[in-house]
């Protein structure tokens, strides 16, 4: 078996396989042990008095505080850790629940401040009668959610969108 075939079977590249081979030749099976797993990061903060003092102070006096306020207090009191570190210690100690992640694509935008300033149109598939599906085209006011036009079509297209716009123009008396 070639080195390339052996690397492929192990799921690593040829260079990594050659490194494994060199380490095996120098140290046998001991040479293949990943030594990174044996060392603790020099940046890791040990669970010590600092963590205990932070959690006890939070439990005793600052329970209503947000992570931002607690971090400001912690820094003012001589702490040198980051906001993320303070927030993580609170969550690890089960003092606050972790917030559900919010996707950037789900952020709500501001509504239009005045009625009739902006209209919104949407088309979605609905089953009105068993076995038959149509697209419901709705044109509505962004500020008030008032529907100006609603109708079913077989399939949403440019003409159905323009029909919704025409109905809104006629209803509101625009351009007359």
CA-to-CA dists, residue 13 to 16, 32, 59, 61, 82, angstroms: 5, 16, 51, 55, 38
Pair (168, 123) in one structural domain: yes
In a domain, 97, yes or no: no
In a domain, 26, yes or no: yes
Pair (166, 143) in one structural domain: yes
pLDDT in tens, 124-149: 898 877 788 899 999 999 888 899 99
- Bridge partner list, 91: none
In a domain, 13, yes or no: yes
Domain containing residue 86: 49-92
In a domain, 106, yes or no: no
In a domain, 137, yes or no: yes
DSSP 8-class letter at 104: G
Task: Kindly give, in sequence order, each residue whose CB lies less than 8 Å from that of residue 116, ignoring residues fewer than 6 positions away.
Answer: 141, 143, 172
Of the chain, the percentage scoring pLDDT greater than 70 comes to: 89
pLDDT in tens, 29-78: 888 887 776 777 766 666 667 777 777 777 777 667 777 777 788 788 77
Per the structure, the count of domains in the chain is 3
Choose between 160 and 82: higher pLDDT. 160
DSSP 8-class letter at 13: -
pLDDT on residue 142: 87
């Amino acid at each position: 078996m070639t080195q390339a075939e052996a690397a492929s079977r192990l799921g690593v590249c040829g260079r990594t396989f050659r490194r494994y081979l060199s380490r095996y030749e120098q140290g046998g099976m001991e040479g293949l042990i990943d030594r990174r797993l044996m060392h603790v990061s020099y940046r890791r903060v040990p669970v010590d008095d600092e963590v205990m003092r932070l959690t006890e102070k939070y439990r005793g006096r600052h329970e209503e505080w947000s992570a931002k306020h607690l971090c400001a207090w912690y820094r003012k009191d001589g702490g040198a850790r980051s906001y993320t570190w303070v927030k993580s210690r609170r969550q690890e100690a089960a003092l606050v629940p972790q917030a559900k992640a919010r996707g950037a694509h789900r952020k709500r935008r501001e509504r239009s401040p005045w009625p009739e300033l902006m209209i919104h149109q949407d088309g979605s598939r609905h089953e009105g009668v068993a076995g038959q599906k149509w697209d419901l085209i709705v044109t509505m006011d962004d500020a008030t959610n008032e529907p100006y036009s609603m109708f079913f079509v077989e399939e949403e297209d440019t003409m159905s969108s323009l029909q919704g716009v025409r109905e809104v123009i006629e209803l509101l008396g625009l351009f007359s």
